[in-house]
Amino acid sequence: MEHIAEYPDPFDLFRIWYDEAGGSSLALPNAMSLSTVRNRGSSASRMVLLSSYDRRGFVFHTNYESDKGVEIAACPRAALLFWWEPLNRQVRIEGAVERTTAEESDAYFAGRPRGAKLGAWASDQSRPLPLRETLEARFREIEAHHEGAPVPRPPHWGGYRVTPSSFEFWAGRENRLHDRIRYERTPEGWTAVRLCP
């Protein structure tokens, strides 16, 4: 793995690894596990797609009223995990979570496929659904309502940004002598340490 001194800022190393994942055989290099905390103290994880990232943090989009939205509202911290199997690499990220601005959410929503926009209106994400036909009928109603017109972003749908307080980069090696580098954010900037596998 790269020498720590070469990458004092973890965002620089993430960009290199993410670009390499994008050039690999992975179908969804932007897929990541999102872990949140439930109100009873247990954890919950699910796969989501990274929408974008920059030095402010890592953005994903969802229904604010979904289970993850409710959990983030109660405990605005999360952990992300990228696993890029063809490269035998993973990146763990932990940090605080906040909603992106309405303008950012509008801009992202505007670029989504029309069907995904309609689905955001039709689905009461995480709520019980006795019959699949109910969801499909709701989708058709929304589609008819917006026929020939733009589909606006639902008020219950938008982006979240995870602002990292730590990164851990892991690269698999023979004999399970893996490489691990952990970065921690401090008031002075990032500190890095190599860890035993």
Q: What's the CA gap between 125 and 147, in Å, rounded?
A: 23
Exposed / middle / buried, residue 51 (Cβ in 10 Å: 0-12, 13-18, 19+): buried
Q: What's the CA gap between 64 and 120, in Å, rounded?
A: 11
What confidence score (pLDDT) does residue 3 get? 64
Query: What's the pTM?
Result: 0.92
Range list of β-strands (E), 28-125: 31-37, 43-49, 52-54, 57-63, 77-84, 89-99
Exposed / middle / buried, residue 48 (Cβ in 10 Å: 0-12, 13-18, 19+): middle
What confidence score (pLDDT) does residue 31 get? 98
Catalytic residues: 176
Residue 194, both tokens: 């190599």
What confidence score (pLDDT) does residue 196 get? 87
What confidence score (pLDDT) does residue 4 get? 60
Q: What's the CA gap between 62 and 71, in Å, rounded?
A: 13
| Domains delineated in the chain | 4-116+155-195 (2.30.110.10)
From first to last of the 197 residues of the chain, give the pLDDT tens digit. 656 668 899 999 999 999 999 999 999 999 999 999 998 789 999 999 999 999 999 999 999 999 999 999 999 999 999 999 999 999 999 999 999 999 999 999 999 999 999 999 999 888 889 999 999 999 999 999 999 999 999 999 999 999 999 999 999 988 888 899 999 999 999 999 999 88
Give the up-direction half-sphere exposure of residue 70: CA atoms within 13 A in the CB hemisphere: 11
What confidence score (pLDDT) does residue 191 get? 95
Q: What's the CA gap between 194 and 97, in Å, rounded?
A: 26
What confidence score (pLDDT) does residue 16 get? 95
